[in-house]
Amino acid sequence: MNEYFHGEYVSLDEISYQAASTNVSGDLARMLSMGNIYNDDTEWEVTGYKEDVTVEEGRDGDDYVFTSDAEDKRKLLMYRDSFGYALMGIAKDYAEVRISRNTDDFAKYCREMQPDVLVIEMVERWREGQETWCNGLYDLLVKAEEAGEL
């Protein structure tokens, strides 16, 4: 995958990993108020497969906003649900990143940011209201493509 996204093959021999946190509860355990029972997960830190960059993290309401000195100057906009927190490490791959759960303003973010990469990460069990904003986003993307903006 690194070769596909970054144009460089990295051998597994060049990668190192170590436990960053142990006795961690996943979001499902915490959501069910069982984090004190199911807390045997390990979070891993993997290094050696992408460039070292300096990342500045900020918040805009509930959104995470990142800027970095990455060589890849593309912009990433991601909608996430509770599982998406685990994907925050991809912020190091792009110069500008917004990771949001804000369905009301997501289409506005698309227009303003003009992202090069758009990720919709949605595995939530609730669906109420999802169709409306997804349809609105789809309509926005179709219009942008028809106007030659994509």
Q: Which of 84, 73, 150, 82 is nearest to 111 (CA)?
A: 150
The residue-averaged pLDDT of 98-107 equals: 83
Output the pTM of the full model: 0.65
Task: State yes or no: pLDDT of 112 exceeds 60.
Answer: yes
The mean of the pLDDT values for the chain is 78
Of all helices (H) and strands (E), which one includes residue 6?
helix 2-6
Q: Model confidence at 87, in pLDDT bands (50, 70, 90)?
A: confident
Task: State yes or no: pLDDT of 59 exceeds 90.
Answer: yes
Task: State yes or no: pLDDT of 62 exceeds 80.
Answer: yes
The residue-averaged pLDDT of 118-143 equals: 69
In the chain, the domains with their CATH numbers are 1-50 (no CATH), 51-150 (3.40.50)
Neighbours of 64 (CB within 10 A): 19
Q: Is the dihedral of CA 68, 78, 93, 85 positive or negative?
A: positive
Task: State yes or no: pLDDT of 30 exceeds 80.
Answer: no
Q: In this structure, what are the phi and psi dihedrals at residue 66, rounded to the nearest 5 degrees? A: -125, 145
Task: State yes or no: pLDDT of 2 exceeds 60.
Answer: no
Q: Which residues 6+ apart lie within 8 Å of 78 measured at CB?
A: 84, 87, 90, 97, 98, 99, 100, 118, 119, 120, 121
The residue-averaged pLDDT of 72-91 equals: 81
Task: State yes or no: pLDDT of 1 exceeds 60.
Answer: no
Q: Tokens 């979070």 label which residue? A: 43
Lowest-confidence region among 3-17, 31-45, 59-73: 3-17
